[in-house]
C-alpha cells in the first residue's frame, strides 16, 4: 500500500485522497452557501422560514433541496469512509456523536467552523493514535471538545 510519511507517521494514500475530496466538498459547499443566490436562499430558509417566504423564496422547495443535499453529503461521506473502514451496525452511533461534536465545536450553523473543527478533531485523533495509544482516540476527542467548550462556549466560530 502506497503512503506518504509525515512527521514520522506513514499516511495511506486512500486516506489522503479522502482528505482531499473532503476538503474540496467542504470548501465547495461553503462557497456555494455563502456566495450564491441559492445558498443565500437556503440559509434564509434555515434561519427564518417565514421571513424567507415573505420575500418570495419557495420554502418547501428549499427544504426539499436541503434534504437532498444532506443525503448527497451523507452518501459522499459514507463512500469516502468506506475506502478505509468496514462498517457494522453500531458504527453509526460513533459517527453521529463525532458529527455532533464537530458541529458544536465549530459553532452551530457555521459551515467553515464545522470544517475546521472536523480537521482539528481528525488531526488530534491521528496524533493520539500515532504517538500515545490508539485506544485513547475517543478520550482525546471528548477532551478536545471539552477544552474548546470551556474556552469558547459558542464554538470556535460561533457568535455570542
| Burial zone of 153 (CB within 10 Å; 0-12 exposed, 13-18 middle, 19+ buried) | exposed
Q: Is pLDDT above 80 for 2?
A: no
- Give the closest residue to 105 by CA, choosing from 140, 159, 46, 152: 152
- Give the closest residue to 65 by CA, choosing from 77, 57, 56: 57
| Burial zone of 128 (CB within 10 Å; 0-12 exposed, 13-18 middle, 19+ buried) | buried
Whole-angstrom distance, CA of residue 159 vs CA of residue 110: 9
Query: pLDDT digit string (tens) for 6-61?
Result: 777 788 888 889 989 999 999 999 999 999 999 999 999 999 999 999 999 999 99
Whole-angstrom distance, CA of residue 156 vs CA of residue 159: 9
Rounded to 5 degrees, φ, ψ at 7 are: 55, 40
- Give the closest residue to 117 by CA, choosing from 154, 72, 160: 154
pTM: 0.69
Q: Between 26 and 89, whose confidence is greater?
A: 26
DSSP string, 1-52: --EEEETTEEEEHHHHHHHHHHHHHHHHHHHHHHHSHHHHHHHHHHH-HHHH
CB 127 within 8 A of CB 83: no
The single residue listed with the C-alpha cell 512527521 is 7
Whole-angstrom distance, CA of residue 102 vs CA of residue 13: 24
Arithmetic mean of pLDDT, 116-125: 91
Amino acid at each position: 500500500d502506497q503512503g506518504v510519511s509525515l512527521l514520522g507517521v506513514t499516511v495511506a494514500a486512500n486516506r489522503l485522497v479522502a482528505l482531499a475530496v473532503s476538503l474540496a466538498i467542504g470548501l465547495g459547499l461553503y462557497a456555494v452557501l455563502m456566495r450564491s443566490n441559492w445558498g443565500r436562499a437556503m440559509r434564509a430558509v434555515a434561519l427564518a422560514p417565514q421571513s424567507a417566504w415573505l420575500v418570495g423564496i419557495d420554502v418547501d422547495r428549499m427544504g426539499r433541496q436541503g434534504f437532498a443535499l444532506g443525503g448527497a453529503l451523507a452518501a459522499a461521506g459514507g463512500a469516502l469512509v468506506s475506502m478505509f473502514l468496514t462498517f457494522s451496525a453500531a458504527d453509526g452511533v460513533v459517527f453521529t456523536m463525532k458529527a455532533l461534536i464537530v458541529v458544536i465545536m465549530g459553532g452551530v450553523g457555521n459551515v467553515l467552523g464545522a470544517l475546521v473543527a472536523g480537521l482539528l478533531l481528525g488531526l488530534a485523533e491521528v496524533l493520539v493514535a500515532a504517538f500515545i495509544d490508539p485506544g485513547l482516540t475517543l478520550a482525546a476527542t471528548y477532551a478536545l471538545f471539552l477544552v474548546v467548550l470551556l474556552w469558547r462556549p459558542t464554538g470556535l466560530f460561533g457568535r455570542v
